[in-house]
Structure 1
Amino acid sequence: MIRVKTFGEPLQPFKTRRELEELDARVNAFLVEEKVSRVIVVQDTPTTENGNVIGLIRTLVYET
């Protein structure tokens, strides 16, 4: 069965690398916990406010 899951992460100046690593860890933990058999696509979309990137939404399409 194909499913979709989204993860959100606020981004702060000068802390983006750590925040992206935390997001990667959350997604990887989800894959293990849910016993995902196949990842079909991963897409990152920035969220903005007044032209500044303030967050990231990661969409995961997967199969169990």
Structure 2
Amino acid sequence: MAGNPFDLNRDGRWSTPERALTHYGVDPLVRGGAERGGCGGCGCALVLLALLAVVLIALVM
């Protein structure tokens, strides 16, 4: 059997969602973020900090 063994269509071509998330979507965005510089974990740290703030505000109210 030729092609991608994880392809549900089993015809060697990736389905549209897989292609969108790898070639056209998420992967270039991730690589583009690394090329711009800055700290690698700043986005994740800010999201966690915002989530912590929301939880603390919810507990206080």
| TM-score (structure 1 length as normaliser) | 0.35
**Which protein is bigger by CA-based radius of gyration?**
2
Greater percentage in strand: 1
Structure number with the higher helix fraction is 2
Q: Relative contact order (C-alpha < 8 Å, sep 6+): which is higher?
A: 1
- Using the size of structure 2 for normalisation, the TM-score is 0.37
